[in-house]
Amino acid sequence: MFAKLARVFTALACVPFAFAAFGVTTPSSGRLQVDSGAGLVTLINTANGDIVSILFNGVQLQDQSKFTQLSSGLGSATVTSSVANNIATITITTSSITHYYIVRSGINTLYIGTFASAEPSVGELRLIARLNKATLPNGPTQSDVAGGTAIEGSDVFTVNGQTRSKFYSSVRFIEDQVHGVTGNGVAAWMIIPGTGYETSSGGPFFRDIDNQGTSQQEVYFYMNSNHEQTETYRTGFFGPYALAFTTGSQPSGNLDTSFMSSLGLQGYVPASGRGTVRGTYSGVLSGQPVTIGFKNSAAQYWATGSGGSFTSPLMKPGTYTATLFQGELEVGTGSVSVSAGGTASLTLASTLNQPTTIWAIGVPDGTPAGFLNADKIQTMHPSDTRMSSWGPITFTIGQSASSFPMAQFKDGNSPTTIHWTASSSQIGARTLRIRTSSAFAGGRPQVQVNSWTSAIPAAPTAVNSRGVTRGTWRGINTVYDYAIPAGTLVAGANTILINVVSGSSGTGFLSPNFVYDSVELF
C-alpha cells in the first residue's frame, strides 16, 4: 500500500507545473491576483497594498504571518490595477506615497517603483519582502538572528557564540545591485539596477540592511534610513528596482527597465530626459580605487574612474556637486550642469594635502582597511570572540598596520600608544595628522607627545546613529592636525599617546569612539 502511494506521489511530482494565463483577477473580496503567465502568482491586499501571497511554480514564498510591504505597512491605501500591452500595473496610493508593482507577461519579476513626496509616518522608507523561511532558508549567516539573545539594543544578537545583526548584511551601494535568498529550486532576489539609488541618500559608500533571518526570511531595499546617515533625505521617485524569482541562479544586475517609460509613473524620468557627464581626473594616490560622485538635493550618482577618465550614468537634468574620491576619501570637488540629451564635460583634480611623511600608519583613503579587526567589523560586533583583542594597543613604528586598531573606544582600548625612535634629522617642530572616517558620541582624538599634550579639538559633526557596532566605518571623514612644538620630540625614543575625548559618556563599545583612517607624522 505504502509503496503504491509512494509511486503516486512520485508520479505527481514529475507532472509539470501548469501555468495560468497572464493578467489581473479578483479571486476574492479584498484581493487582487497578478499572474505572470510563467509561474509567478502574486496576491495583493486591496485595503493596504500588502503582498499576502507569492506562489512561484506552485511553491509559497510569502510568509503568512507577516507580509511584504512598504515601510512597516501603509495601514490603509487605495489599490488600483491596469493591464495594457502585456504589462500589468498595480498602483498603491496614500497622501504621500505612490507605489507600483509591475508584471510583464512571461517574466517572473515584480518590477517596482516608489514615489514619495515625504517620508512616510509609518516608518523608514523601505521595501521589506517578508518571505517564507521554510521554502527560502538560505540567507547571509551573519544576519540570521533566529534564536539569538540581544546584546545591544534590539538589533544585535549572539547566536551560538557569534554576534549577528541585520546590519551585518549591508553592502556598499556602489556594489549592491543584487542580493537575495535561496531554497530548494527557488530563489528571491532584490535587484537595484542602474541608477536605482538616485533618490536615496548617503553616496556611493553608504551601506544599509539587505537581509534579516528570524522566523521569516526578510529581504530589503532600504531607500532612506537613519543608519549612520550623513545627508538629509531626498524625495521623489525611488528606483526602479525589482523582486525577481528564479529556480536558484542569481540574475544579472543589468535589468532592463526601459519599458517603464511608457507607463506614466509619477516622478519617473526616462532615458530621453537625462544627460551624461564625461571627464578626466588627476592627482589621486597611485593604487587607490577612484570614484566620482555627483549630488544635489534631488539626486545622487556615481561613476568609477579608470586611467584618468570617467563617464557618468544617465542623470536627471540639474546642477551637481561632483566629488573625486581616493578610495572613500574626498580629495577634490567641482560643479557640473546636466541637460536632457546633453553630454557635459568636467575636469577634476585632487587638492588633498599629501606631505612627505616621516612615517605613516595606514593610507589616507577614508577607510581603516588593513588595520586590526577592519576585515571583520562589517560582519560582526566588536565584542565577537572572533575579533582580535582590541587592547589598549602599543604600536611600534615599523610594525605592520594590521597591529594598529581600526577603532578606538573611550571606555575600552584607550589610549593607543605609539613608540618611535627618531633620528636627529627627524625632530624639531612637526605635525601629527590623524584622519578618521567615523565618530560616535562626539569621540575625537587628543594626543600626548612625550611631555606635551595637545588641546582638545572641536567636536566632529554629529551623526545621530551608532556606527562601528552596526558594521560600518562610513561616517564623515575628518582630519585632525596637531602642531608639535620644537623641543618636544627627541633624538631617540619617543612616545605618543592617543586618547578619546568627548563631552558624552557611555560604556564599552557604546562609549565615545572614532574609526581611524590613517596617522601621519611630517
Q: Write out the chain's pLDDT in tens, 522 residues.
A: 434 434 433 343 444 567 889 999 999 999 999 999 999 999 999 999 999 999 999 999 999 999 999 999 999 999 999 999 999 999 999 999 999 999 999 999 999 999 999 988 877 899 999 999 999 999 999 999 999 999 999 999 999 999 999 999 999 999 999 999 999 999 999 999 999 999 999 999 999 999 999 999 999 999 999 898 999 999 999 999 999 999 999 999 999 999 999 999 999 999 999 999 999 999 999 999 999 999 999 999 999 999 999 999 999 999 999 999 999 999 999 999 999 999 999 999 999 999 999 999 999 999 999 999 999 999 999 999 999 999 999 999 999 999 999 999 999 999 999 999 999 999 999 999 999 999 999 999 999 999 999 999 999 999 988 999 999 999 999 999 999 999 999 999 999 999 999 999 999 999 999 999 999 999
Question: What's the grid cell of residue 400?
Answer: 605592520
Measured CA to CA, the distance from residue 426 to residue 230 in angstroms comes to: 39
The x, y and z cell numbers of residue 38, run together, are 510563467
Instruction: Tell me how far CA of residue 304 lies from CA of 175, 275, 294, 297, in angstroms.
Output: 11, 17, 12, 22
Strand order in the sheet with 162-165: 149-152, 156-159, 162-165
Rounded distance, CA 317 to CA 414, Å? 49
Q: Give the pLDDT score at 18.
A: 72
* Virtual torsion, Cα 75, 80, 83, 86, nearest 10 deg: -10
**C-alpha–C-alpha distance, residues 440 and 447, integer Å:** 18
CA-based nearest residue to 518, from 396, 383, 357, 382? 357
- The pLDDT value recorded for residue 122 is 78
| 378, HSE (Cβ side, Cα atoms, 13 Å) | 17
Q: Is 436 helix (H, G, I), strand (E, B) or coil?
A: strand
Show the cell assigned to 493: 625614543
Please name every residue paired with 240 in a beta bridge, in sequence order, or none if there are none. Answer: none
Strands (E), 94-198: 97-104, 109-116, 126-132, 149-152, 156-159, 162-165, 171-172, 178-182, 187-191
C-alpha separations of 164 from 1, 245, 471 in Å: 48, 26, 10
SS3 string of 146-159? Answer: CCCEEEECCCEEEE
Check: CB of residue 128 under 8 Å from CB of residue 220: yes
Task: Give the cell for residue 196.
Answer: 536605482
Q: Strand pairing of 343-349 and 276-282?
A: parallel
254: CB partners within 8 A, 6+ apart: 193, 194
Torsion, Cα 397 400 402 406, to 10 degrees, reads: 30
Instruction: Name the residue among 430, 436, 479, 433 with its Cα closest to residue 450.
Output: 430
Cell of 506: 557611555
Which of 519, 448, 473, 470 has its CA nearest to residue 164? 470
